[in-house]
Amino acid sequence: MTVASFTSVSLDPPLVAFLPGKTSSTFPVIAERGTFCVNVLAADQERICSALSVSGGDKFAEVTWHPGPHGDPVVDGAVAWIGCTIEAVHDAGDHYIVIGRVDDLDADSTASPLLFFQSRFNHLVSA
């Protein structure tokens, strides 16, 4: 699934959060597993972002990935990934607030992230 609302919550202990809609068909699978992996896609991974954001079907059919520390998908070529265990799920109107404990992570400091802003993909430009 793709999310537009992901944030750092705490450094000690290391916690993050995302806010899936209650109509999500993917979140119940994540909640049942109890773990998830956040992938920060690279600037050249627009196709992957589009593939992962559609409802239904095998979202990973054309996405190359390898298992992270909990077996969750780490997308090959991603700028960064964060492996988490669900700590809490809070009801929040038509969404949930999911708090995850960061168990492991990695990042490529030389890569540029894919950005989605004002309903389109964007890229960072060096000044």
Q: What is the pLDDT of residues 69-111, one digit of tens each?
A: 999 999 999 999 999 999 999 999 999 999 999 999 999 988 8
CATH of domain 6-122: 2.30.110.10
State the pTM of this model.
0.89
Domain extents in the chain: 6-122
User: How far apart are alpha carbons 90 and 107 in whole angstroms?
Assistant: 29
